[in-house]
Amino acid sequence: MEIETERVGFFVNGWQWFKGIPLNAGAAVVGFAEQARKIASDDPRKLIHSLKVGLALSLVSLFYYFQPLYSSFGVSAMWAVMTVVVVFEFSVGATLGKGVNRGLATLAAGALGLGAHHLATVTGKTWEPILIGLFVFVQAVASTFIRFFPRVKARYDYGVLIFILTFCLVSISGLRTDEIVDFAQKRFSTIVIGATTCVVISILVYPVWAGEDLHNLVAKNMDKLGNFLEAFGDECFTRPEGVRPALVGLQPILDSKSSEETLANFARWEPGHGKFMYRHPWKQYLKIASLTRHCAYRVEPLNAYLQSQTQAPQEIQEIISRMSTESGKALKELAWTVQTMTRPDSHESNLRIASKNLHSLLKSDFWEEQTDISLVIPVAAVASLLSDIVSCVEAIAEAIDELSSLAHFKQPDDKDKASSHFSVVVDDHDQVKQESKSSAVEILVV
């Protein structure tokens, strides 16, 4: 009887599960569509990038459609399709870097492969395969090892990969076909066609510049940190019920290192565009970003004191509030300087005054009046962290000063107008897109 019940239960469960399939599938589709909608609305450039890839692939597949094109390249046209799929990346810099790597590596490895083939043929039929095998092995070992060099890994990793690939294909194919020169030449020309298609489309159609992204990211992170410090200055002693949105979300700043380095590596491949010249000092952005992160390490522990029950003397409270607010303002000012590429005019002087006030207060005998020292300790900790933060902000200001002379920032003139415009530039995707578009036109003119 029990078995019977179990069996019925099994069937009922099975039926429930079976009935659930359309529901589950429906839920999965809805979830998928929701996620896709979110990604596309968060950054419409991702949708546009997908359309660009489709366009590039359709263009190179024309080699198969038209007889005259097909008869000159034949099956090698396949290399053009492959090149588009693997070379077309999100930003112009990444696409250019991969395209140039692939083109040059194919050229170099093709030439060397032909040389190896020639050398092996001279030695006669018996030695030929042995020599080719030896070349392939030695070349693969050496090139794979070179990929571990940090500088090669950062900029030429893909090139070395393609070098290994092409050398092997050209030199090994030589064993079986005499049309090896033709093979190498067709491979090279179709790859150049594919890579050029990618680069041209990525520059002309709504270009995404890695350099501009890096520029905006660095400015935005400083701005966020500044907002945090301002909000902390307002609220560190008021302890409101809810937490203001500016007081969360430091984590992305703390974790930004790898994405900044990737963007800087891509940006170095990019030609001049918009307000950035070729060889814009991207490395200096990394320095600023690293200092900003250093500052964020000091800001993050402040979070813990928002909830603490501090009842510091009124005067101290005011000075700490003031110092946090001024640090925040200075950081936002610096973010504005970077974003608009306008020379700073020492707006952190307010910060220096506040910092001086704090230091003189800390050294005054005012504190001796305080009897309950356990209440002073969290305040002392906050003051100490803030004094560190001020040093960090000063270091950032110095690095931005260097950047402003390296990148020839313009003198401030219509500053107030630009200042009110700032938050728009940082937050508005359409704005960034508009700028990218106009810079593409400039490139065409250059």
Nearer of residues 8 and 62 to its own copies, judged by Cβ = 62
Q: 3-state SS of 32-47?
A: HHHHHHHHHHHCHHHH
Q: Give 427's DSSP letter.
A: H
Contact call for residue 205 and its own copies (CB under 8 A): no
Contact call for residue 301 and its own copies (CB under 8 A): yes
CA dist list (Å): 159 to 111, 165, 166, 186, 379: 15, 10, 10, 19, 55
Contact call for residue 33 and its own copies (CB under 8 A): no
Q: What is the CB neighbour count within 10 angstroms for residue 261?
A: 15
Contact call for residue 169 and its own copies (CB under 8 A): yes
Contact call for residue 388 and its own copies (CB under 8 A): yes
Shortest CB 374 distance to its own copies, Å: 5
Could you give the 3-state DSSP secondary structure of residue 244? coil
Contact call for residue 49 and its own copies (CB under 8 A): yes
Amino acid at 114: L
Q: Which stretch binds its own copies (CB under 8 A): 60-68, 99-107, 325-333, 404-412?
A: 60-68
Q: How does DSSP assign 163-201, residue by residue?
A: HHHHHHHHHHHTTT-STHHHHHHHHHHHHHHHHHHHHHH
The contact pattern for its own copies, residues 132-161, with x = CB under 8 A and - = no contact, is -x--xxx-xxx-xx--xx-----------x
Binds its own copies by CB under 8 A, chosen from 175, 204, 246, 395: 175
Contact call for residue 54 and its own copies (CB under 8 A): yes
Locate 119 and state its tokens: 């050398």
CA dist list (Å): 223 to 171, 179, 207, 246, 341: 55, 61, 25, 11, 15
Q: Which residue has the tokens 């897109």?
A: 433
Contact call for residue 429 and its own copies (CB under 8 A): no
Residues 244-263 that bind its own copies (CB under 8 A): 254-255, 257-258
Q: Give the side-chain half-sphere CA count within 13 A for 441.
A: 5
Contact call for residue 164 and its own copies (CB under 8 A): yes
Shortest CB 202 distance to its own copies, Å: 13
Locate 38 and state its tokens: 């979110």
Shortest CB 196 distance to its own copies, Å: 18
Binds its own copies by CB under 8 A, chosen from 362, 418, 426, 443: 362
Shortest CB 381 distance to its own copies, Å: 3
Q: How does DSSP assign 61-77, residue by residue?
A: THHHHSHHHHHHHGGGH
Binds its own copies by CB under 8 A, chosen from 114, 219, 383, 399: 383
Contact call for residue 17 and its own copies (CB under 8 A): no
Residues 208-247 that bind its own copies (CB under 8 A): none
Binds its own copies by CB under 8 A, chosen from 28, 33, 51, 122: 51
Shortest CB 136 distance to its own copies, Å: 6
